[in-house]
Amino acid sequence: MTRIIFLGAPGAGKGTQAQTLAEHWKIPHISTGDILRSAIKEQTALGVKAKSFVDSGQLVPSELVQDMVEERLQKADTSSGWILDGFPRTVDQATFLDNLLKKMNLGGALVINLDVPDDVVVGRLLERGRKDDTEEVIRRRLEIYRSETTPLIDYYGERKQLVVINGNQSAEEVTSNLKDLTVSC
């Protein structure tokens, strides 16, 4: 079974790499941002609650995202594993995920930190042009990433689950580094 968690700032290339690897390994790419954006588009109860947070670059309340992840990880297509992209984003979410995996009798995941300097991610996000990619919202997302999500680097480092990959290379080079890594683990 392959269970991978992608960490990395917004714009680090998590989504692209997670999608490529998921196709390669034939396991689902589970992006909490994608699930939230489609819930917002379809105006589901979750989407209506999440919209203002996503639009302004703030974290959606953890209970909502945690319920969503718990439900998603129980679907049949996860039997060979999964790649999580965008979750966990806080230490509380990581603790929730640890407990959930225990409850499901699954071991921990391999955590990949895609490391990219700040000035590079801002440039990439401005080029991407998603609705929540305005300069002000980007700045807020980066601040929240620094304060809420970077503590996960220590959290998973202490648990010996963490691998750091240089994300400041071409997408092809990053993919090749990731494939080497997953083959050897």
Query: Using CB under 6 A as the criterion, which residues of the chain lie in contact with ligand AMP when the complex forms?
Result: 10, 32-33, 36, 53-54, 57-60, 65, 86-87, 89, 93, 141
Q: Which is nearer to ligand AMP, 55 or 154 (CB)?
A: 55
Which run of H or E residues covers position 151?
helix 151-158
> How is 20-88 classified by DSSP, letter by letter?
HHHHHHT--EEEHHHHHHHHHHTT-HHHHHHHHHHHHTPPPPHHHHHHHHHHHHTSGGGTTEEEEES--
Q: Which is nearer to ligand AMP, 90 or 184 (CB)?
A: 90
In the complex, the smallest distance separating the C-beta of residue 119 from ligand AMP, rounded to whole angstroms, is 18
In the complex, the smallest distance separating the C-beta of residue 182 from ligand AMP, rounded to whole angstroms, is 21
In the complex, the smallest distance separating the C-beta of residue 90 from ligand AMP, rounded to whole angstroms, is 7
In the complex, the smallest distance separating the C-beta of residue 132 from ligand AMP, rounded to whole angstroms, is 6
CB nearest ligand AMP: which residue? 33
Q: Say which amino acid occupies 75.
A: K
In the complex, the smallest distance separating the C-beta of residue 133 from ligand AMP, rounded to whole angstroms, is 9
Q: Which is nearer to ligand AMP, 147 or 176 (CB)?
A: 147
- Only one residue has tokens 């919202």, namely 137
Q: Compute the distance between CA of residue 84 and CA of residue 148 in angstroms, rounded to an integer.
A: 17
CB atoms within 10 A of CB 162: 18
Q: Which is nearer to ligand AMP, 167 or 183 (CB)?
A: 167
CA 104 to chain centre: 20
Q: Which is nearer to ligand AMP, 49 or 179 (CB)?
A: 49
Closest CA to 6 of 146, 140, 109: 109
